[in-house]
Amino acid sequence: MNVLLGLGGTDESIQALEATIDRASAVGDELVVAILDKADAPRSPAEMRSETAATLEAAGFDADIRELEGDPGPALVDLAEREGFDHVVIGGGTETPMGKIRLGPITEFVLLNASMPVTLIR
């Protein structure tokens, strides 16, 4: 399958990247990693790109890395539709001090608008 992974520059993104590499290696998926321009993320797109490259290299897994400009949810779904990806993967979900799971607006947009299956890793 052709898998598109969207990364927003948060800690959950790193976790999603590692899980997706594991899965893609195991089943032989082709992977494209899209770096999203998430305004309040702790890592800039450039930082996220180099961290992604390092993680891929450490795993010995080859994947294209693309930076997407603009509103992250629409940009990711648009790329997935235009290039006919089979599957979209996103990281998402933070925990409050109480342990409540919260999903953000990017996650909601992708879940509601992507026409292909979406995996949410949290």
Partner 1 sequence: MNVERSRRYPDEPAGPFPTPPATHTDAEGRDLAIERVATDGAVHDSLTRMYDRFNPADRAQGIPPTGEAQIRDWLDPLIDTGVNVAVRPLEPTASAGQATPDASTLDADVDRNDDAGADRNIDADADATSADAGSIEYVGHAVLVPDTDESDALDEPGRYEWELAIFVLQEYQGAGVGTALLEHLLGEAAAVGIEHVWLTVERWNSPAISLYESTGFESVGTERFDIEMSIQLDPA
Residues 6+ apart with CB under 8 A from 31: 3, 4, 5, 20, 21, 24, 61, 63, 64
State in angstroms the smallest separation of the CB of 92 from partner 1.
10
State in angstroms the smallest separation of the CB of 49 from partner 1: 27
Nearest residue (CB) to partner 1, 42 versus 105: 105
Taking the least distance from each CB to partner 1, the nearer of 19 and 120 is 120
Judged by CB under 8 A, which of 28, 60, 84, 99 binds partner 1? 99
Count other C-beta atoms under 10 Å from residue 58's C-beta. 10
Give me the least distance between CB of 50 and partner 1, in Å please: 29
Instruction: Confirm if 39 and 71 have CB atoms less than 8 A apart.
Output: no
Strand partners, 32: 4, 64
Using CB under 8 A, count the residues that bind partner 1. Answer: 12
Gap between the terminal Cα atoms of the chain: 22
* Choices 9-17, 19-27, 44-52, 94-102 (CB under 8 A): range interacting with partner 1: 94-102
Task: Provide the binding-site residues for partner 1, judged by CB under 8 A.
Answer: 95-105, 108
